A and B are shown apart, each in its own frame.
Chain A
């Protein structure tokens, strides 16, 4: 089985799905000749040509709006927004249109558009090349929100997104585009949208995370395990629809929970996980649920390493939750 980076796995998934189904087309800024600014679409323009790999004008609302029209007609567009920070010009097309097409037409017009976008810190990109806007989209009924953290999942989840019948916001943790490597099967396979992944099982504490934070949590867990604790790490993978069963079962087992994410803490995705736990299994809790997120500020440049949850901050939070009496 070939070993791939996250980036290569995404590229491989796009290529595989485009070969499998000629209705799949890509569009975005610099995705064609240039192969994407991160090279996720490298080689696809030369293989599939300008009708299926489209370099678009600099208009995010155009990239999404046109994809909606194509999907309504019967194509399977995969739109790339170059950085999640630049998705806001298309917010209207995503939130008012893409998410609501099926519902407002009584099911007549499904809109299976996949929106791929790199998100999060990790490249010292400051305010506008680092944001994690996932919660805006999980708050929008009609959208599925998917975030892979391994090459295997990236390929399989993207394939599911492309083959699916509903719109998917597919967010790619750019911090680990090249740093994470793993085995990726040749050819076609899918990983279903929905189920979370147990990264490691444990009995004292459950840590919920996704994207680049999985690696951060694993680092922190290794440290706290030296102190004799047993930590369960769950990679949510799909933020909507959420795998409530896996989350709640794990908390019932461990009795302690925390959520780690890069976005500003307040009203970030961790709030949803914490509320879900409180609503359903509060009696199982032996400590308050803890959120470790970014601070409630825009994303900084020089102090990025202070802002993004760092293994040390996660480790400290683990200590707090584990030692709570």
Chain B
């Protein structure tokens, strides 16, 4: 029997499609360089005492112990981040669904409205947040002015409210701006999902005497579930890692009541030069994100087996 060539040996061990591996190689290399390496480096930093300009030593889980058991601001940051992400995503889903269904029914100015809807999403975050910064300004808030001078608001003797200075209002304000910015993404994606649902399903339901609510719960929502799962996944990741909105509006204040993982990580990692602690705070998100991804992907997989 003649000796096997290298190609034959490879084919025997990894299957017949060797060429396929070569085709995906560039993607693998790019992923290793741009995703795996930085992620690995971040993990290493979080397990080290990395400090800008100093020698780095492995210290195990000490950074995590410090932020969890000694740093009271970090505990507040966890609470803020979870409230920020959960409220934002839930409101965006509900409002997104509502707006998308309304947009689907609108006939006049349809193109204009769909285009205009995207504006908050496509404008640079830093710029739009600066506009909100002026609208919510502590001394000359546009909203406060409107509440006091514009009829009918002026009848109710409302405000002035300290949108960025009161802990509850400040957190609510940053959540509101996040919703305002992220909502168009939900609306447009859900709208695409709605358009893809075949009309004959609704016609059949109508013949069977289904009510509007029944059509929504039995047809619209189940068929939208894969789309919803994907946008919830994306939105959760982006919302948990949000930085610009809080950094521009409150810088984590008042009294750290709006600090998120990203802003607090920036404070430690860049301003205080403690890269190790900064990385530990940023990576604290990772298990939460993994859990979210697993849950949502399971949902998508279950739905992909859905049969009409």
Q: Do A and B form a real pair?
A: no
- Give chain B's interface residues, CB within 8 Å of chain A: none
Partner-B contacts on A (CB < 8 A): none
